[in-house]
């Protein structure tokens, strides 16, 4: 077979991001925007569902569930409302793709919302945005206003007879409200906590009506699929992980940012484009899909970043949030910070997660600060064992991933913190990542500060 040189980047979602005032409707239309909707409206809704099914698009919100199949789960129309809810809550540590997409190209998302709504027979869609990102909320509000004014939303869109209203809703800023059923409760004005499933949202979602919940990037991928066809989409990526996606490189990398590429690209290839690890340092560990996915090391640089290959290597593709940590990083400290997040964000509904994340945080903190005891690693692993598979939703399971994977990969480093009564890292190296060795908690409570 002859060797081909292929540019591994596939800017599709991000294609218009560097256009002048890319977020305006005019700029979007000038770049060919809103043509997908015209194409969709010219065919029966079922054909639009079919093209998305055939494309093999899998949900970009983390779990990778096939998008067309999810749309197909809605029961037959009964004359009552059915809803599309776009999950724009993006709160997983390291995940930072939907926010830049909505800032740079909100019309792309809104076009995706219009096509998806048409396909599933919905006349009122919601975009649930993470509360802290006020700038994104404002941009979406303005973009929706522009789309109404241009006749892409509202009554009788483009003379097709199809009506659609879009509501942009700002949450109050809670990681759990990204879990789809907690999101629906929050959108209904209730406290954001996960619902028991079944019934699944497809059957009884928003206001107990059939509902599709899709991630921003999933919905934004739809216009190009409708425009170019399913074969075009499956020509990228791998057989079971088709298409392109945003890979978000952050942390100790020379040029952090969004790299849009076919699924199946490797971290080695992405790092080459991103200028490598900062300072020429060695890669120590990384997350393939955000903090809830088990850690990888430099041994996984060539693992294809598609759902199957990452799972076969012991982790999850998740949201393609590639957080890079170089050799100067204390893994105990990194995991301890993540656990602060999970303990804070646990919604408290179920005991394994509410109590478990609290204790994981306490134990990690004491190991980090030099007050760890000999049995602590066993207690950490036992606590994880009591959360994994026993928690009410995936937040609890995700919280165990950094703990169990880091102990499996760096047990020596955890033990060195315990036997050495603190972080064994050279303080000059630690300064590179602003690491201040902590005093033992006893010293703090003894009024040493």
Ligand X SMILES: Cc1cc2nc3c(=O)[nH]c(=O)nc-3n(C[C@H](O)[C@H](O)[C@H](O)COP(=O)(O)O)c2cc1C
436-440's contacts with Cβ under 8 Å and 24+ in sequence apart are: 438/368, 438/369, 438/370, 439/369, 439/370, 440/369, 440/370, 440/371
The window from 113-121, 138-146, 362-370, 393-401 that contacts ligand X (CB under 6 A) reads 393-401
Strand partners, 326: 283
The verdict on 117 binding ligand X (CB under 6 A) reads no
The verdict on 225 binding ligand X (CB under 6 A) reads no
**Closer CB to ligand X, residue 283 or residue 360?**
360
| Interface residue with ligand X, options 89, 146, 260, 376 (CB under 6 A) | 89
The verdict on 175 binding ligand X (CB under 6 A) reads yes
For residue 255, the tally of other CB atoms under 10 A from its CB is 12
The window from 58-66, 115-123, 228-236, 422-430 that contacts ligand X (CB under 6 A) reads 58-66
Q: Tell the smallest beta-carbon distance from residue 83 to ligand X (Å).
A: 14
The verdict on 111 binding ligand X (CB under 6 A) reads no
Q: Quote the DSSP letter at residue 148.
A: H
Strand 244-251 with 257-262, pairing: antiparallel
Q: Binding to ligand X (CB under 6 A): which residues in 394-413?
A: 394-395
The verdict on 127 binding ligand X (CB under 6 A) reads no
The window from 176-184, 252-260, 294-302, 408-416 that contacts ligand X (CB under 6 A) reads 176-184
Q: Which two tokens stand for residue 88?
A: 């724009």
**What are the residues whose beta carbons fall under 8 Å from the beta carbon of 71, sequence distance 6 or more?**
49, 52, 53, 116, 119, 120, 212
**Closer CB to ligand X, residue 59 or residue 223?**
59
The verdict on 65 binding ligand X (CB under 6 A) reads yes
| Interface residue with ligand X, options 10, 14, 55, 91 (CB under 6 A) | 91
Residue 60: name its binding partner from ligand X, ligand SF4, none (Cβ under 5 to 8 Å by kind).
ligand X
Q: What is the DSSP string of 341-395?
A: HHHHH--SSSHHHHHHHHHHHHHHHHHHTT---TTHHHHHHHHHHHHTTTSSSHH
- Residues 316, 325: Cα–Cα separation, whole Å: 18
- Give the interface with ligand SF4 as residue ranges (CB under 6 A): 176, 194, 346-350, 353-354, 391-393, 395-396
Strand 211-215 with 165-170, pairing: unpaired
Residue 223: name its binding partner from ligand X, ligand SF4, none (Cβ under 5 to 8 Å by kind).
none
Q: Tell the smallest beta-carbon distance from residue 212 to ligand SF4 (Å).
A: 22
- Residues 164, 148: Cα–Cα separation, whole Å: 10
Contact 142, 166 (CB under 8 A): no
Contact 410, 331 (CB under 8 A): yes
| Interface residue with ligand X, options 136, 176, 222, 384 (CB under 6 A) | 176
The window from 137-145, 210-218, 245-253, 431-439 that contacts ligand X (CB under 6 A) reads 210-218
Q: Tell the smallest beta-carbon distance from residue 70 to ligand SF4 (Å).
A: 21
Cα angle vertex 220, ends 28, 167, to 5°? Answer: 85
Strand partners, 167: 126
**Closer CB to ligand X, residue 16 or residue 91?**
91
**Closer CB to ligand X, residue 67 or residue 328?**
67
Q: Which residues bind ligand X (CB under 6 A)?
A: 59-63, 65, 67, 87, 89-92, 175-176, 178-180, 213-215, 218, 393-395
């Amino acid at each position: 077979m002859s060797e081909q040189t292929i540019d591994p980047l596939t800017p599709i979602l991000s294609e218009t991001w560097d256009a002048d005032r890319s977020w305006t409707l005019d700029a979007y239309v000038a770049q060919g925007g809103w043509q997908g909707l015209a194409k969709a409206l010219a065919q029966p809704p079922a054909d639009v569902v079919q093209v998305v099914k055939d494309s093999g698009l899998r949900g970009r919100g983390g779990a990778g569930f096939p998008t067309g199949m999810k749309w197909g789960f809605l029961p037959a129309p009964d004359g009552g409302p059915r809803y599309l809810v776009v999950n724009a809550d993006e709160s997983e540590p390291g995940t930072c793709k939907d926010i830049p997409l909505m800032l740079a190209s909100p019309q792309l998302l809104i076009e995706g919302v219009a096509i998806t709504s048409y396909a599933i027979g919905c006349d009122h869609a919601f975009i649930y945005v993470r509360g802290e990102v006020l700038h994104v909320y404002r941009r979406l509000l303005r973009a929706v206003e522009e789309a109404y004014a241009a006749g892409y939303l509202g009554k009788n869109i483009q003379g097709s007879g199809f009506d659609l209203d879009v509501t942009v809703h700002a949450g109050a800023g809670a990681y759990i409200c990204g879990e789809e059923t907690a999101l629906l409760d929050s959108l209904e004005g209730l406290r954001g906590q996960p619902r028991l499933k079944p019934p699944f949202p497809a059957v009884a979602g928003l206001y107990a009506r059939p509902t599709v919940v899709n991630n921003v990037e999933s919905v934004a991928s739809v216009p190009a699929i409708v425009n170019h066809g399913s074969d075009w989409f499956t020509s990228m990526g791998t057989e079971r992980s088709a298409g392109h996606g945003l890979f978000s490189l952050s942390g100790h990398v020379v040029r952090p940012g969004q790299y849009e590429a076919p699924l199946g690209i490797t971290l080695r290839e992405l790092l080459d484009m991103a200028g490598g690890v900062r300072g020429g340092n060695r890669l120590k560990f990384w997350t393939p899909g955000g903090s809830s996915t088990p850690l990888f090391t430099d041994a996984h640089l060539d693992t294809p970043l598609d759902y199957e290959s990452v799972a076969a290597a012991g982790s999850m593709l998740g949201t393609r949030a590639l957080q890079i940590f170089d050799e100067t990083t204390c893994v105990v400290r990194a995991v301890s910070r993540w656990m602060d997040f999970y303990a804070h964000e646990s919604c408290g509904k179920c005991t394994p997660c509410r109590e478990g994340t609290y204790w994981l945080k306490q134990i990690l903190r004491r190991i980090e600060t030099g007050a760890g005891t000999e049995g602590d690693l066993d207690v950490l692993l036992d606590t994880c064992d009591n959360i994994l598979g026993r928690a009410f939703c995936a937040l609890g399971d995700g919280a165990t991933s950094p703990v169990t994977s880091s102990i499996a990969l760096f047990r020596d480093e955890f033990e060195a913190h315990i036997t050495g009564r603190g972080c064994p890292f050279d303080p000059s190296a630690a300064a590179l990542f602003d690491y201040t060795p902590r005093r033992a908690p006893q010293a703090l409570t003894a009024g040493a500060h």
